[in-house]
Amino acid sequence: MDRNVKTQVQFPIGAKLIIIIVGFLLVSLGALTILGSVLIGSDIRITAEDNNFTVNHWAAREVEIILGNIRSKAVLLLEDMDTAENLNMASYFFTQNPDIAAIIFTTGGPEQAGGLKEKYTFINENFPGGGIPRSLLDIWQNIQENDLRRAFAGEILTDNCFPVFNIPLLAMIFPLHTTGTAESGAVTVLFSSEKLRKDFGVSDSADINYSFIINDEGCVLVHPNEELMMSGANMSDLPFIRGALESSARSLQTLFTDREGTEYFGAYERLNIGNITVITSVESGLVFKGVAATTQRNIVIGGIVLALSILVIALFSKTISKPLRTLTRAVEAVETGDYRMNLIDNRRKKSHFTDEIGILTHSFIGMGNSLENFEKFTNKTIVRLARQGKLTRTGTNKTATVCFALIRNFSDFSKEMDAYNTVKFVNSFLARIVPCIIKSGGVVDKFLTQEGVVVMSVWGVVESAGSPERDALNCIQAVLMMRSLVHTWNAERARPNSAKAKRTTRDTLIKLGCGINTGEVIAGQIGSDERMEYTVIGDAVNLAARIEGPNDLFDTDILITENTWLLTADRLITEEMPSLEVKGKEKPLRVFAVVNISDREGPQTMREVRKQWLV
């Protein structure tokens, strides 16, 4: 580039910006309007139907599982009683199943002499409200006599008991042939519908879907509207409900209109148990309401942005152009290696470029060529070392202390958590561990994923405390902070008012494991021209990783090698553990468990650590 060429703006950047922004906004608003009214509307309809069908399917599966579990538990109880004749089992059964209000086993049947006869009747005295009254139970049984006869014929029925008992209660009636006898009968299980009702409120996924349950007669069993449940409303007169009950298809998604003319997306699935149907619906107007609101909002926002953009660019275009020209000259100075440039220069140079952006672009191309070797680094310290020639692809020998820290019993937590809570738990652990490393002068090298999440950290590589002894002691101080924070975390989880207290036992306490070794490592750039990282490798690193595992064997949480112990023994309270056979080492490896810093309050023996900190 010719430095003597003076700049000459042929087309001001302010005018360009106004034209570009106005044109872009007008085209964008037009495109958004078309997409919102035609394309997005169609996509949203498909998405709404699929979402409604999916919500219905999972709701049906949940109901099927709940009813199936209730039926299985009742059958198991009655069969055990019939074989063992142990009626005291009912009390234990209700203790384990507090949501079940009563179980009735009726024998006889329409074809047998004597008619229907109760063989077993068990009432849960601990059910909310002191249990259901026997008098109301007799009334309800008389009302449901026809359902009992249908159950003897092989049907599985579900009824709403709210109108009789005035509490959210459902009844499932099904046939049973007890093991070891020729006696057949029908089982009636009365259970709380509260869990189903809570699950069948407004869907969290869309805030507009809602599901409810009806039986084969169209009577409401579970519904977000409590009044419909209390009255035992029958919805079979609604066209969609009637169609769902009469259809031969077990599941269906359709668009229907109610008696008020409101359009809905409706989905239903008929279950294999209980002669019940799960229905999920969403008002179509609510689905498409967002499209119209979004379009209007975009137009308003676009108009405001358009007006403000024109005003701001018109007022400050000159103040933009002048700094751009000054910055261009500064970039040219950086390109030559002169970093002490004066950004305020009243001299104006003409250029054959049409505007300031062209000059700036050309200058940045030259600067980019000069700084190409630095684009792979994101850490300022590493970049500074690289520019000083202290980082090489061949590596540098350094004496460092390496630590591997992890949750030893991570698998006990992960198998009880879903993906969301697993990541949340890991992040909570790292939020406590990483600051300990940074505060003590260490550097987090990487996060590994074997056996959960392992934090590899080093002291004495990028920055040193002045000697290997001080670096090693800083590392141990960091892991002692980790021990204290994990202990506090366990105490918080075990508090009676903690949401996690019910799950906190000795087996679910978080167990920290750390392996520490000091030795010579190779520090340098590892990677390719496209992707690099600065890390450490060597036998000292591998040894630190290997001695973390024996923490489970020795019931310890912090193990250090003899190399680290020799540097820090005069400042630490330690106990030597049995020597370890390590692959690749001729002699057994001496390892030591860290108890405490010698001049600090706290545990003085490993026994005290196990008693106070590792339980």
- Per residue in 486-508, pLDDT (tens digit) is 999 988 887 766 555 444 444 57
In which residue ranges of the chain is pLDDT below 70? 1-14, 17, 25, 29, 32-41, 81-88, 109-115, 178-183, 200-207, 259, 288-292, 294-295, 298, 302, 309, 313, 316-393, 450-451, 496-507, 615
Distances in whole angstroms, Cα of residue 270 to Cα of each of 53, 202, 247, 444 = 13, 21, 10, 55
Write out the two tokens for 421. Answer: 């809570």
What radius of gyration do the chain's Cα atoms show? 37
Q: Quick one: pLDDT at residue 345?
A: 43
Report CA dihedral (79, 83, 85, 87) to the nearest 10 degrees.
-20
For residue 6, the model assigns a pLDDT of 46
Instruction: Identify the CATH homologous superfamily for domain 381-612.
Output: Nucleotide cyclase, GGDEF domain (3.30.70.1230)
Residue written as tokens 């599966």? 61
In angstroms, the CA 403 to CA 212 distance is 56
DSSP code at position 593: E
**Residues contacting residue 508 through CB under 8 Å, at least 6 positions apart:** 409, 412, 413
Beta partners for residue 173, in sequence order: 157, 188
Q: Report pTM.
A: 0.44
DSSP H or E run through 311: helix 284-335
459 and 469 in contact (C-beta within 8 Å)?
A: no
Domain locations along the chain: 85-192, 381-612
CA distance 123 to 100: 9
Three-state DSSP string of 148-177: HHHHHCCCCEEEECHHHHCCCEEEEEEEEE
Look at strands 396-407 and 512-527 and give their pairing: antiparallel
How far apart, in whole angstroms, are the C-alpha atoms of residue 421 and residue 273? 33
Contact criterion met (CB below 8 Å) for 103 and 131: no
- Coil, strand or helix at 514: strand
CB atoms within 10 A of CB 60: 25
In the prediction, which pLDDT does 376 show? 39
DSSP conformation letters of 448-481: E-TTS-EEEEEESSSS--SSHHHHHHHHHHHHHH
Distance CA 125, CA 337 (A): 88
Run of H or E residues at 325: helix 284-335
Cβ proximity of 588 and 581 under 8 Å: yes
Fold held by 85-192: Beta-Lactamase (3.30.450)
- pLDDT at site 570: 93
Selection from 442, 614, 523 nearest residue 433 by Cα? 442
Report d(CA 491, CA 478) in Å as an integer: 20
Direct distance between the N- and C-terminal alpha carbons of the chain, in angstroms, rounded to an integer:
72
Element (H, E) at 330: helix 284-335
CB 264, CB 240: distance < 8 Å: yes
